[in-house]
Structure 1
Amino acid sequence: MTDIGAALIVLLLIFLFLGSGIWVFIGLILVSVTVQFFLLDFSLARIGSIATKIMMRSASSWELAAIPMFIWMGDIIFRTDISQRLFNGLAPLVARIPGRLLHVNIVGCTLFAAVSGSSTATTATVGRISLDELTKRQYDPLLAVGSLAGAGSLGLLIPPSIVMIVYGILAEVSIVSLFAAGVLPGLMVAALYSTYIACRASLDPVISAQLAAQEKLPVRLGDFLNLVPIVLLIVIVLGAIYSGLATPSEAAAIGVLAALLIAVFTGQLTFAVIGESLINAVKMSAMVISLVIAAALLSTTMGYLHLPQSVASLIAGLELSPYALVAILALFYVLLGLFLEGISITVMSLPITLPLIVQAGFDPLWFGVFLILMVELATITPPVGFNLFVLQGLTNMPISRVARASLPFFLLLCLGVILLTAFPNIALWLPSALKGGA
């Protein structure tokens, strides 16, 4: 069988199994087993041996320990009043910027993303507070919802990010360097969002003029004190990583301890909070790690078929320019985002796309940030955009209206991808500077 025929069969099996509605990690395992048995003619004993070795090697990776810890840390904060404190602290600081409290969505999500690692958790946590406040003050509902959909996706890009950890493990790239690479692009995207809101508000003051007199409050010391818990947690976690005092996994454990202490000092640590956050962390971690294991098995299967090398050679034969390759991959990821969520997109595509990128001369570190930006697009792309569903639940808006509200921020995120491609140092400068200073 030709390499093209094998590739088509693998793609057909992926669509067949995933389209059947079964869990993604089971679908990927079934694809791997089916290909090994029918295309590679492996015996069941050999397939079992390969699967066992891959499972043990993937599941025992030390870097994976960071995933449940970061998820648990974010869930503890989710179950406290930190998000309400965040709103109260930011509101007076942004009330004089065109767009006023709409910027709380952007700044609040940017800050919360640094302790969450999840776009869904970021959107839900900030949204459950800010949307009520913005509705009371009669802000434009579409701009309020759209800004939250876009800014909520920053949970994937601002470190610590669960998708970054998964990418780092699969691509064998330093997770610390990936975290550093995501900082400036994340701030760039947040700046694009805030600039858009300010321009809209300047052109149409009605967007944020209602009840404006109530928002012109003096900035007081108490406003800054409201921000202390989340800023302290960010400094502890990221400071431990970038100072070299702790690995990402160790910093995640430190972050959990810090989150528990914050809950104690704010009088919100209960057995219910501990139990519910632990259960959710275990469920989410099991899902993510299962996907990592299934992706490793699929990657090994594709290696036996020599598909990554064959596809890379095929595309190399087209003599595409590096930027044409990036454009094709961007379109490919947008299409995947219509049907899959972020971690699934990452683990399924990486065995094929990473060799292409490396062969074209791109830095795998840069590609990690590029890929996460494309995954962010998936979070606000119907019909499977998770942020859209979260916001539908918070607002009871039809999903079509939520998607329409998110469209300007989808386009701004596309602009961010273009800027990152044109100026790769947006992602690469900070990791390089930290290495140089080490």
Structure 2
Amino acid sequence: MTEVWATVIFLFTLFLLLGGSVWVGLALMGVAWVGMELFTTRPAGDAMITVIWASSSSWTLTALPMFIWMGEILFRTRLSQDMFRGLAPWLRGLPGGLLHTNIAGCTLFAAVSGSSAATLTTVGKMSIPELRARGYPEHMIIGTLAGAATLGLMIPPSLALIVYGVSINESITQLFIAGVIPGLVLAGLFASYIVAMHFLRPGDRAAPEPRMPFRDRLSESRFLLPVLSLVVVVIGSMFGGYATATEAAAVGVIGALILAAAQGSLSWGTFAAALMGATRTSAMIALILMGAAFLSLAMGFTGLPRALANWIETLDLSPVTLIFALTVFYIILGMFLDGISSIVLTIAIVEPMVRAAGIDLIWFGIFVVVVVEMAQVTPPIGFNLFVLQGMTTHDIGYIAKVALPMVGLMLVMVVLLVFFPELATWLPDVLRPTTAPG
């Protein structure tokens, strides 16, 4: 009975604070404080200080601000613009034409950013004006960009996977490796949608792009080399076992600074803006993680996670049924919270259920990222929708409507993961002996 009252009080306090526009991190701390005061005899202040210090002093967590900083450097220099110039010659001949630059650009930038918002902003400011000028349909430009930008949460280095790994004490490097194939498959689904619409709606086709000699394509490809070299160094160092995720992040920051300086687009103003942007984003995520750690402790004292896991066990749900229920749960939750907040808010309760069902936690991390990717493009709090609204002046309803097919493709990705779990588990198993601890 105590667990029931604890659940009611936790939820009421949480919705009260979030509804009052309190920051997510502070709202989580507030809920935890109430739980500690009502259900335990331990001093809440002492417990909060201890658990916040323990959660924020993790060496693995150091990778988070470093990867954010690397993405900020690329976003604020000319490297991101050159990426579009290098991709376009190779994609113009595909069915759907340069719309594929949204998918390829987001996939490539996600491999050096880890942030959905940074990926969307960087690729969008390059592709939207170019595609509009060439007569591509607006609904395809906006819809494919909204969906493809979510790849920033999946393809390593992924901020969401870092947060998940820290929350359940799993290897960040193994999670990064697990995200590669699902990320590429999801990008392939997005690209397939563009091809399908090219043939199904011929009236929406833009004018064919002029042919470009192969020699000219190779010449333009030189603009891709800086970003590609950074991807190879950062991701390759982790997958080859030469560096942990944290060490690879540090190498990535140094590499991004060197490339920007060599290109002549690194100034003191750019450096300071990138550093401050990374600091703001890192501080926001750190505050959420601190609140989540304190809330996990408070719920642990009430026995709520254990009781809920035991209740789920009595239902005798199959792993597939449990995954279906969690998919619906995360989709609903994602309508009101961003992806990282959804992960840290729920993982303390969900993890015991998943372990009891015998589900692989590396696989589950990839599943969680796919379903919280939908949170970025589902109203009313889809963060990518707001970013696109600021970039295009379209209303939220229009952007959500044209992004809906992308949500459907993410659901297809969930189905593929359930029926083909090797998509997420095969590569980590193959590379496990050679990877450095994450």
Instruction: Pick the TM interval, shorter chain.
Output: over 0.9
Q: TM-score under structure 1 normalisation?
A: 0.97
* Correspondence 1:255 to 2:238: no
CA distance in 1, matches of 2:425, 2:279: 33
Query: What's the CA shift string for 1:298-320, capped at 9, x where partnerless?
Result: 11111111111100111111111
Deviation at 1:354, TM superposition (A): 1.1
The 3-state SS of whatever aligns with 1:61 is coil
User: Aligned pair in 2 of structure 1 residues 310, 228: CA closer, same or farther (>3 Å)?
Assistant: same
Counterpart position of 1:243: 240
Counterpart position of 2:399: 402
What is the one-letter code of the residue matched to 1:376?
A: E
Query: What's the CA shift string for 1:124-147, capped at 9, x where partnerless?
Result: 100011010010011010011000
> Which deviates further from its counterpart, 47-56 or 186-195?
47-56
Deviation at 1:331, TM superposition (A): 0.6
CA distance in 2, matches of 1:231, 1:171: 31
Residues 164 and 368 in structure 1, CA contact (< 8 A), matched pair in contact too: yes
For 1:83-98, what aligned pairs fall within 5 Å after superposition? 83-98=80-95
Counterpart position of 2:213: 218
Counterpart position of 2:139: 142
For 1:69-80, what aligned pairs fall within 5 Å after superposition? 69-80=66-77
Residues 99 and 207 in structure 1, CA contact (< 8 A), matched pair in contact too: no
CA distance in 1, matches of 2:213, 2:5: 68
* Correspondence 1:318 to 2:315: yes
The 3-state SS of whatever aligns with 2:80 is helix
CA distance in 1, matches of 2:20, 2:357: 35
Query: What's the CA shift string for 1:3-44, capped at 9, x where partnerless?
Result: 22222221222111111110011000010011110233x35x
Residues 79 and 227 in structure 2, CA contact (< 8 A), matched pair in contact too: yes
Counterpart position of 2:427: 430
What is the one-letter code of the residue matched to 1:18?
A: L
State which of 224, 227, 230 in structure 2 corresponds to 1:230.
Answer: 227
Query: What's the CA shift string for 1:189-218, capped at 9, x where partnerless?
Result: 0000101110110222333332x143x322
CA distance in 1, matches of 2:81, 2:377: 24
Counterpart position of 1:281: 278
Residues 92 and 218 in structure 1, CA contact (< 8 A), matched pair in contact too: no
Residues 193 and 409 in structure 1, CA contact (< 8 A), matched pair in contact too: yes
* Correspondence 1:363 to 2:360: yes
CA distance in 1, matches of 2:135, 2:213: 21
Deviation at 1:436, TM superposition (A): 4.5
User: Aligned pair in 2 of structure 1 residues 370, 405: CA closer, same or farther (>3 Å)?
Assistant: same
What is the one-letter code of the residue matched to 1:258?
A: G
Structure 2 unaligned segments of length 5 or more: list them. none
* Correspondence 1:330 to 2:327: yes
What is the one-letter code of the residue matched to 2:420?
A: F
What is the one-letter code of the residue matched to 1:348?
A: L
* Correspondence 1:118 to 2:109: no
What is the one-letter code of the residue matched to 1:275?
A: A
Counterpart position of 1:28: 28
The 3-state SS of whatever aligns with 1:209 is coil
CA distance in 2, matches of 1:395, 1:122: 16
The 3-state SS of whatever aligns with 2:313 is helix
Counterpart position of 1:3: 3
Moved >4 Å (runs of 4+): none
Structure 1 unaligned segments of length 5 or more: list them. none
What is the one-letter code of the residue matched to 1:130?
A: S
What is the one-letter code of the residue matched to 1:81?
A: R
What is the one-letter code of the residue matched to 2:184?
A: L
What is the one-letter code of the residue matched to 2:49?
A: T
Identity over aligned pairs, percent = 45
CA distance in 2, matches of 1:218, 1:178: 41
Query: What's the CA shift string for 1:38-78, capped at 9, x where partnerless?
Result: 233x35xx212211110111111001111111111100000
* Correspondence 1:203 to 2:200: yes
* Correspondence 1:414 to 2:411: yes
Q: How many equivalent residue pairs?
A: 433
What is the one-letter code of the residue matched to 2:23?
A: W
Query: What's the CA shift string for 1:253-281, capped at 9, x where partnerless?
Result: 11010000001111111000110011111
CA distance in 1, matches of 2:209, 2:355: 55
Q: TM-score under structure 2 normalisation?
A: 0.97
The 3-state SS of whatever aligns with 2:72 is helix
Deviation at 1:342, TM superposition (A): 1.0
For 1:178-197, what aligned pairs fall within 5 Å after superposition? 178-197=175-194
The 3-state SS of whatever aligns with 2:205 is helix
CA distance in 2, matches of 1:414, 1:227: 32
User: Aligned pair in 2 of structure 1 residues 64, 213: CA closer, same or farther (>3 Å)?
Assistant: closer
Counterpart position of 1:81: 78
* Correspondence 1:342 to 2:339: yes
CA distance in 2, matches of 1:322, 1:248: 30
